[in-house]
Chain A
Amino acid sequence: MESQSYLPVQPGVCMEENFFSLDDILLSHQRLPIRTEVSFPRLGFLEKSSDSPDIPMGTKMELPLWLSKGLYEQNKRMLSVELPKVYREGWRTVFNADPNVVDLHKLGPYYYGLGSQMLRFDSPENPEIAQTLLQTFIGRFRRTMDSSQNAYNEDTSALVERLDCLEKTLFVSGQCGLNSFQGWEKGQACQLSASSLVLNYRKRKITDVQS
């Protein structure tokens, strides 16, 4: 039985984003290297490194994904987006050689999510990027599965350290399956425990009293 009273919306993965997913909202704040192709009058405050009131054409700067995407899709000639390093050919070779050695948390942490979003910006490299994303996921699957299915009752922070955000969600659901089975086997399932909703409610009451 689901003990959770709140069911969070899962991230959308790939092109589609889920409006109510917290992960997707965080993802949309990832900053991308861009180059302005026109000048943006009176928007100089967005560019901290210069005092000019305008952003001149040809400026290299960083903009969050949501803004770059919005501007790009309205008019492709307003800005060009540079591919973040981790999706470029150099890194793609590394990923294709052995996806298990890379630290996707450090390189991401939204490696798959951001990579899929990058495909919205026209680039001749898009097919290779998409292929690398898929192969990386497949190549790392066994390890994600084994670590999530074997670690019972131990500190898992070392195991998830190098996982991308998406893999981390999978790891958690693998752990959930393992833990509930182990709990059942040990007979913990027949012990009734207060739901987290009730516990949180009690906590809130105490703070209400204190304030």
Chain B
Amino acid sequence: MDPSEVEFLAEKELVKIIPNFNLDKLYLIGGDLGPFNPGLPLYVPVWLALNLKQRQKCRVVPPDWMDVEKLEEMRELERNAATFTPAPCPYYMELTKLLLNHASDNIPKADEIRTLVKDIWDTRIAKLRLSADSFITQQEAHAKLDNLTLMEINTIRGFLLESLNCMYKLRSNLQPGSSKGPLADY
């Protein structure tokens, strides 16, 4: 899957905005939104929030976890734990990129947040590689990956799945006769 498609999914997440305009309730196919009143905060999907923001029609309120203190705590937790700690948000990487690129003026300490999230990401990816390696060397059949986010899975997906496939086939060599049919005759 292309990372931009993962980002596309992240854009469905709800984010709080404070609009500066009036608009009646919207009856979208995916559900109702609004009404929009100046100064009254409401939740909308990220794709709409960013569009309104780009047209200077709203202010974006950063999600709770997008906060230097909280992220520092999470970074420590992530560095000290051997396993994956719950991610700040299932789409933390995508939302950080989207909100910081398009609404950084609404997010305090944007640069620090960017660095912190990147640190958390790097720590988690290092762990992911470690567990991928042990999954392969132990030749395991099942792994539970509860706290992994889609973007994290996606960076290693192609490589890991193809490797597992190769390994599966090399292992099937060990059972003589099982796949050793007669010469394939096309």
Taking the nearest CB of chain B, how far is it from the CB of A178, in angstroms? 7
Contact (Cβ within 8 A) A141 B163 = yes
Interface majority SS (helix, strand, loop, mixed), chain B: helix
A55-89 contacts to B (CB < 8 Å): 69-70, 73
- Judge whether B3 and A134 touch: CB under 8 Å: no
CA–CA, A91 and B34, complex, Å: 71
B132 and A145 within 8 A (CB): yes
Do B173 and A1 have beta carbons less than 8 Å apart? no
Q: Is B182 an interface residue (CB 8 A)?
A: yes
| CB < 8 Å A-B pair total | 114
B173 & A184 in contact (Cβ 8 Å cutoff): no
B31 at the interface (CB under 8 A from A): no
Q: Assuming A141-B133, A141-B136, is B2 touching A1 (CB within 8 A)?
A: yes
A127 to B175, CA, bound (A): 9
Chain A residues lying within 8 Å of B67, measured Cβ to Cβ, are none
Do B173 and A170 touch (CB < 8 A)? no
Q: A141-B163, A145-B163, A173-B162 are in contact. List 4 more A-B contacts (CB 8 A).
A: A119-B176, A133-B173, A138-B139, A189-B2
Q: Is B158 an interface residue (CB 8 A)?
A: yes
In the bound complex, residues from chain B placing their C-beta under 8 Å from that of A119 are 173, 176, 180
B137 within 8 A of A: yes
Cα A21 to Cα B82 with chains together (Å): 42
B162 touches A190 (CB 8 A): no
Inter-subunit contact A120/B159 (CB<8 Å): no
The count of chain B contact residues (Cβ–Cβ below 8 Å) is 39
CB nearest to A122 among chain B residues: B176
Q: Let me know if A174 and B173 touch, CB within 8 A.
A: no
Which among A134, A145, A170 is the interface contact of B171 at CB below 8 angstroms? A134
Find B173's partner among A12, A116, A149, A185 (CB 8 Å cutoff).
A116
Least distance between B184 CB and chain A CB atoms (Å): 7
Query: Is the CB of B22 closer than 8 A to any CB of chain A?
Result: no
Nearest B residue to A2 via CB reads: B2
> Is residue B5 contacting chain A, with contact meaning CB distance below 8 A?
yes
Query: Cβ of B183 and Cβ of A116 under 8 Å apart?
Result: no
Interface residues of A in 79-119 (CB under 8 A from B): 112, 116, 119
A187, B4: Cα distance in complex, Å? 9
Distance, CA A88 to CA B7, complexed state (A): 50
Interface segment out of the listed B39-47, B104-112, B149-157:
B149-157
Closest chain A residue, CB of each to CB of B170? A134
On whether the beta carbons of A181 and B174 are closer than 8 Å, the reply is no
Does A196 touch B at the CB level, under 8 Å? Answer: no
Which listed residue, A13, A73, A141, touches B169 by the CB 8 Å rule?
A: A13
> With a CB–CB cut-off of 8 A, which chain B residues contact A202?
none
The yes or no answer to A160 lying at the interface (CB within 8 A) is no
Contacts of B181 in A (CB 8 A): 15
* Interface residue? A125 (CB, 8 A): no
Known A-B contacts A14-B179, A180-B3, A189-B2; A138 and B166 likewise in contact (beta carbons under 8 Å): no
- Whole-angstrom distance from the CB of B88 to the nearest CB of chain A? 17
Instruction: Give every chain A residue within 8 A of B169 (Cβ-Cβ).
Output: 12-14, 116
- 8 tightest CB-CB pairs across the interface, nearest first? A184-B3, A174-B159, A130-B173, A189-B4, A13-B169, A14-B169, A173-B158, A73-B183
* Contact status A181-B3, CB under 8 Å: yes
Chain A residues, CB < 8 A from B3: 180-181, 183-185, 189
**What residue in chain B is nearest A18 (Cβ atoms)?**
B184
Question: Is B172 located at the chain interface by the 8 A CB criterion?
Answer: yes
B97 within 8 A of A: yes
Jot down 8 A-B pairs with beta carbons below 8 A, ordered by A: A13-B170, A131-B174, A134-B171, A137-B170, A169-B162, A173-B158, A185-B3, A187-B101
